[in-house]
Chain A
Amino acid sequence: MQGSQGRKRKLILREAPTIEQNPTEEDEFQSGLLDGILSQSESENDDDDNDESLDDENSEDQLDEEEEDELDSDEIPSEDEGESDSHQPTNGIGARKMAKEKHKSTLETDSATTQELGLDDRTDGSRRFDEGANYIITQDANGNERYIYRSIDPVYDSDDSDAPDNGNTIGNISLSFYDSYPHIGYDINGKKIQRPAKGEALDALLDSIDIPKGWTGLTDPATGKPLELNNEELEVLKKLTRNEVPVDGYDPYPEMIEYFTGKTEIMPLSAAPEPKRRFVPSKHEAKRVMKMVKAIREGRIQPYKAPTDEEQPETKGYDLWADEAPRPDHPMNIPAPKLSPPGYEESYHPPPEYLPDKAERAAWEAQDEEDREREYLPTDHDALRKVPGYDTFVKERFERCLDLYLAPRVRRSKLNIDPEALLPKLPSPDELRPFPTVCSVLFKGHKGGVRSVAIDPSGLFLASGGDDGAVMIWELRSGRQLYTVNIADEPVNVVKWRPSKDTMVLSAAAGEAIYLLAPFSIMSPEVENLSREVLDAGWGYAATSSTNGTSSVQKEPAAKWSRPESKLLDQGVLVKISVRAPVKAIDWHRRGDYFSTVSPKGQSSAVAIHTLSKHLTQLPFRRLKGLAQTAQFHPSKPIFFVATQHTIRSYDLSRQELIKILQPGARWISSFDVHPGGDNLIVGSYDRRLLWHDLDLSTRPYKTLRYHKKAIRAVKYHHGGLPLFADASDDGTVQIFHGKVVEDMMENATIVPLKVLKGHKVTDKSLGVFDVDWHPREPWCVSAGADGTCRLWC
């Protein structure tokens, strides 16, 4: 109320000059009954709230005008004043100060008049104001009491839409006519309606940031201001869009007022006499009757005869399939399923074997009605006349009809996919024989696990290296232990035969040493001599070459070739090669002159290539990315494969360049083997995967086989022409696969898992099978287990 009071005061001050013209108003002001005005002004304020900026801009002009003709403008300036004071304290302050000063000057004059007025009041004296009454009692000329009633305040609602005050008076013309003017029309007082500020950038941004309530995004075509709708208007719009009457309380179906009724009114609306036709027989009817009479005479219409019993039409059922002829089988025409003819069980006197015994009867009764195989129990009756009525006959027939009626007689083309058919067409393992199936020979002798096995090129002997530092040679087929030598105290990590048939040279690696053996006790003198020759050919070569000047360049030779101690020498261990780090893998070149060793821990000397004929060791890689795991020569081309933990790189040895980097995607490659054809490669990884790479296809595996529960330690192709490969895993199994590689480039390799060879025991350290090797010709493979045994599988 404070604000309104203040405003009131101002109003008084400003409107003082009008009081003389309209004395009653002053009373109202004084009596504080300013509700209506305030409310009105509020309503206008409400309207103006919408465009405050407009007010601000106009305020100055309007004030100026106000000065000029105060009497004319009774409301707008006050509104503007009040508004600008209360709502826009910051905008246009200077202008407002000026306006206030002007007001002060008027205020002085105003106060003078009020003083006069006050005197007037006092002179009236007799005027009394009763707070409760709506009138003032004065004295009239006769001295009687005179009641002067106050004018009734209509108390218009603020949303009185009948008289929009700020309406544009330009009529129904497009606003575009005013495009060139600063205003957009004229109000009822003939004043220009200024064009609303077309949103400065900041305002537009502010508008976009917080959308005021009731914002529609539309522009009022009449005012050019943004159109805002209040709730009522929205409601009306909603109703209109719903095809409803927008006004509340409108009854679209009012009670009908019957102005004309069939009832005989006491006071009829019409006083016309009854027409004649009401008393004259109808000629039209006579005509119709005559027509009927004629028809009856002619016999066209028979007189009604009550129907007799015999003629009563039977309410018979319609046999849907009475005349159903057998039709050819068609998806759209499925014959109704026929009931099977009754059997012995349904007989009233069935053979005794059909009668249920007690248990069967109890079982039948215990069953749910839906689950019963048949809905009756065979019952024996001596004679047909003793057969009682079938109590569920109606129900059964009904259900039968229901079945027929409800059964969807549509042949549904069911998508019959045999889950077997979705599996890739793999030949059955039986067709892929021969492959190893059972353990044929067990080789026992190593203390501790057997790390590596190798079958010699002739296929007669098996070499094995174990944790006990022993290298043993066995007769493969009989399991007879032929040769044993303890070459080191460390475990023998790998044994490999030199690939040649005229010599028998075995290479074995234990710790940092590689030993070359010629186990002459199992060889004929000829072979023995050849083997010795091969092994001893290179003595001195390294020494002479090193003295020829390279020694000054090379600080330390990559490996030291020497004779082992005499004890080993007597047993046929002829050469010892000491390298810098423990050797984990050996692979011989097919010609038997070179062999590669891999010692994962020796960084720059991880991969070494040894030349047997020159007793020379070379380190092909200065620096190798990753930890080298194993390396292998290509079976026919001068290509060298090196496997690190994650990748397998192939290098061209003749051109000395990197050819390809295979990425099997394994976390840690344990071993790999190159197919004898040279275009495929299998990789075993410690993360239990066996990966088949087609070198022609991509650097990614062609197939991934996950069949092992634990790490795969070794993978090996059959190098004797059989399409087989095997892997050995820590879960104690060796798995045999059929892997056929076809010459045709268009055809992918066929890989079929064939057999899981179980037998090796998994040790406490959860180590299973360390190594696997194939017989050079037969479908036999040998596995080396952590349990200290080797097994021949065939």
Chain B
Amino acid sequence: MSGDLEQPGPAQEQTSKIRIQFITRDTDHELPAEASAPILVATKFRRYALSTLINTLLDTPTPVPFEFLILGQFLRTSIEDFLTANGISAETTLTVEYVRALIPPLHVASFEHDSWVSAIDVLSGSSPASIWTNNSPGVPSGQEKILSGSDDGLLRIWNMSSEVEAISSVSHNNHITNAKFLSPTRVVSASFDRTIRLWKYESMPDFGPTSTLTPSVELYGHKASVDSIAVHAPSSRLLSASQDHTVGIWSSKKTDAPPAPQSLLPSSSNKRRKLNPNPNSVSQRGSLALMTGHTASVTSVSFAPNDPTVAYSSSLDHTLRTWDLATRTLVDTRTTAHALSCLTPLQDLGLVATGTDARSIILIDPRASATAVSALTLRGHTGTVWALSTDPSSAYGLASGALDSTVRIWDVRAARPGSGGIGAPEVECVYTIERESGRGRKKPVRGDEVKVFGIVWDGEVGVVSAGSDKRVQVNRSPQGVRDS
């Protein structure tokens, strides 16, 4: 049939066209009503030509790069090649979704540490910590801070010029698993030593660029390593996920917190404690509640984005559980097929993205009414997915760090039906960010790759990831700052 079409002379071939219906889920860039009808487009067009076309139709003041999704795939070739590759007739009306292009994030900087870095957070103008503190002046551009917690038990705060602004005055007894900015002046960290610590970060402009990071409160309660924390500054609540199968609720205010359980305080017989310079200078507090329900180590916890009284937690017992923080009860349990290692809620989609030990990311609908547990599967990683972060500028973007030395950027709109029509639709990653430390070296054997333990995707700073190559790596799209 196609042969018949090719038969006519070259004059017609040049102007081979296809009817395209452009749609978008992006409200900012909806086509005007008069342009929403299907448009005849030459099949030899590529992404750039189509992007120019959309820009013309939208009449944007500055050109906005667009990507085009056809049947869940990004257009990487000409339309004609795409049609032949996918066996689509050129006579049908093609529905093409245009999305704002993700510019491939490029390596900006690497902050070197002495040991593995697991915990990472960013303080910038668009980060939650600065948004929650509305009254403060905010973080001006260029003054962003990066918080890192490494295996030597120390927290470090870096500025954007790769300088350590502050190192925690005391160290955790074991490696730090997670750290977060509570506000531009407060930091919370969780460690393998079963404690959560609140730190006071004071920049002293009088004494130059150096600033201090001093402990304010030590939170005891977990009987095993605290693997993850979540913070919600407005309600001054902390959530923690621990290997002792519990989810802890803590108050970030010293006055609210109950006293620490004596049995969990480090015994005086422990030599390590003796070595600690000032063990009793920091006030010790306990948890508001420890919610039990998980049957295995809880790997990650998060507040629901729209409701700070709801929390999600993921665990190695294959479940994602929803908790009601007001009553401190378990609301719902979603069981998957794999051990879950991390989670991050996708606010606009109402889904929770969870990384699994089976090298995939599953988007779970946490609502009790949802019929299918898994809404989407994101495949591509070759190692356990250890950390997740959402795109600050798009509801559909996701970044994941895994033990295969990569950070991958996903767009959940590029979803195709699952393999063999079974299971949830699958998504392939858009970009893969390799570790800078591994550049130019021989590819390590499976299992020996750099492990990416922490990732934050910030609107200002970009994709910040930390891993077992003892570095914090910052990647940013060239245009970086979005116009919104």
Chain A interface (Cβ within 8 Å of chain B)? Answer: 434, 438-442, 444, 458-460, 475, 477-480, 482, 520-522, 524-528, 570, 759, 777-778, 780, 791-792, 794
Contact = CB atoms under 8 A, between A and B. Distances in A.
Given A478-B453, A525-B265, A440 B316 contact: no
Contacts of B157: none
6 contacts: A438-B446, A440-B357, A478-B403, A524-B264, A525-B264, A759-B447
B272 interface: yes
B330 to A, nearest CB: 20
Contacts of B317: 777
A198 B243 CA distance: 110
Contacts of B174: 482, 521-522
Contact of B447 (A440, A528, A778, A780): A440
A458 B297 CA distance: 9
| Overall SS of chain B's interface | loop
Contacts of B443: none
Contacts of B272: 521
A460 B264 contact: no
A594 B357 CA distance: 35
A479 B265 CA distance: 27
Given A524-B224, A526-B223, A791 B447 contact: yes
A353 to B, nearest CB: 14
A459 B316 contact: yes
A525 B263 contact: yes
B382 interface: yes
B447 A480 contact: no
B317 to A, nearest CB: 8
Contacts of A460: 224-225, 243, 297
Contacts of A458: 243, 297
B296 interface: yes
Contact of B445 (A434, A526, A527, A759): A759
B271 interface: yes
Interface residues of B, number: 44
Interface in B241-281: 243-244, 263-267, 270-272
Which of A442, A477, A520, A522 has its CB near the most chain B CB atoms (within 10 A)?
Answer: A477
B384 interface: yes
A477 B263 contact: no
A525 B225 CA distance: 12
Given A434-B337, A521-B174, A778 B448 contact: no
B339 interface: yes
Contact of A442 (B270, B337, B448): B448
Contacts of A434: 337-338, 358
Given A438-B446, A792-B447, A778 B316 contact: yes
6 closest A-B pairs by beta carbon, nearest first, are: A439-B447, A442-B447, A442-B448, A524-B223, A439-B446, A525-B267
Contacts of A477: 341, 357, 384
A491 B436 CA distance: 38
Contact of B151 (A480, A528, A777): A480
Contacts of B386: 478
Given A460-B297, A524-B223, A440 B403 contact: yes
A525 B358 CA distance: 33
Contacts of B151: 480
Given A479-B451, A480-B151, A759-B446, A441 B403 contact: yes
Contacts of A525: 263-267, 270
Contacts of B357: 440, 477, 778, 780, 794
Given A440-B357, A526-B223, A794-B357, A459 B296 contact: yes
Nearest to A441: B447
A27 B300 CA distance: 147
A44 B382 CA distance: 112
Nearest to B317: A777
Contacts of B448: 442, 444
B95 to A, nearest CB: 34
Interface in B167-209: 174-175, 192, 194
Contacts of A528: 267
A777 B296 contact: yes
Contacts of A475: 192
Given A438-B446, A440-B447, A759-B445, A526 B453 contact: no
Nearest to A758: B446
Contacts of A482: 174, 192
A438 B338 CA distance: 15
Contacts of A442: 445-448
B462 interface: no
A527 B317 CA distance: 22
Contact of B383 (A440, A459, A521, A524): A440
A521 B297 CA distance: 19
Contacts of B222: 524
A550 B38 CA distance: 99
Which of B263, B339, B359 has its CB near the most chain A CB atoms (within 10 A)?
Answer: B339
A482 B222 CA distance: 18
Given A459-B296, A460-B297, A477-B341, A520 B358 contact: no
Nearest to A761: B445
Contacts of B265: 525
Contact of A570 (B271, B445, B446, B468): B271
Contacts of A521: 174, 272
A440 B270 contact: no
B158 interface: no
Contacts of A759: 445-447
B303 interface: no
B410 interface: no
A439 B384 CA distance: 10
Given A434-B337, A477-B384, 10 more contacts: A438-B382, A438-B447, A440-B357, A440-B384, A442-B448, A458-B297, A478-B118, A479-B451, A480-B175, A792-B447
Contacts of B446: 438-439, 442, 759
A524 B194 contact: yes
B66 interface: no
A527 B263 CA distance: 11
B312 interface: no
Interface in B289-314: 296-297
Nearest to B151: A480
A778 B356 CA distance: 12
Which of A478, A528, A778, A791 has its CB near the most chain B CB atoms (within 10 A)?
Answer: A478
Contacts of B447: 438-442, 759, 791-792
B270 A520 contact: yes
B444 to A, nearest CB: 8
Nearest to A438: B446
A641 B447 CA distance: 36
A406 to B, nearest CB: 45
Nearest to A794: B357
B323 interface: no
B263 A526 contact: yes
A172 B105 CA distance: 131
